């Protein structure tokens, strides 16, 4: 599986099968989710927070390009979004953002 697609994050989270049972149990008790659905939510949230800065920049670039935005606006928007991530990455210039996407 390719890490950028979330595959390795899921595998890493799944390694100890009972590591998140308490959280899954809490979601089942406090929501209308069934156990399998709650487990999937936990895995999705953990994968989201495991996303690297580079993966985030590439994903957001693809998403915003698919909406028809131009690169100048895309990189400005990504630069504005980065400080609001759960663990804020270091400040990146527009040039650094372009290098992440285009190498």
The count of C-alpha atoms lying within 13 angstroms of the C-alpha of 57, restricted to the half-sphere facing its C-beta, is 26
What pLDDT is recorded for position 11?
52
What pLDDT is recorded for position 86?
79
Output the CA–CA distances (angstroms, integers) from residue 3 to 11, 20, 89, 99, in the order listed: 10, 21, 19, 19
Q: Where are the alpha helices (DSSP H) in 51-93?
A: 53-66, 71-81
What pLDDT is recorded for position 17?
55
Residue-wise pLDDT for 2-60, tens only, equals: 444 445 555 555 555 567 899 999 999 999 999 999 999 999 988 888 888 999 999 99
What pLDDT is recorded for position 3?
46
The residue that leads in pLDDT, 52 or 72, is 72
Range 94-100 average pLDDT:
93
**Is residue 88 very low, low, confident or very high in pLDDT (cuts 50, 70, 90)?**
low
As given in the structure block, the two tokens for residue 28 are 């089942």
DSSP state of 3: G
pTM attached to this predicted model: 0.60
Buried b (16+ CB within 10 A) or exposed e, 55-79: bbbbebbeebeeeeeeeeebbeebb
Q: How far apart are the first and last CA of the chain?
A: 22
């Amino acid at each position: 599986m390719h890490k950028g697609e979330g595959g390795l994050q899921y595998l890493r989270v799944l390694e100890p099968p009972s590591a998140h049972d308490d959280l899954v149990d809490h979601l089942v008790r406090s929501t209308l989710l069934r156990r399998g659905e709650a487990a999937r939510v936990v895995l999705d949230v953990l994968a989201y927070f495991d996303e690297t800065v580079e993966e985030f920049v590439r994903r957001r670039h693809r998403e915003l390009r698919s909406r028809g935005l131009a690169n100048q606006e895309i990189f400005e928007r990504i630069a504005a979004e980065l400080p609001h991530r759960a663990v804020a990455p270091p400040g990146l210039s527009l040039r650094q953002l372009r290098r992440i996407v285009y190498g």
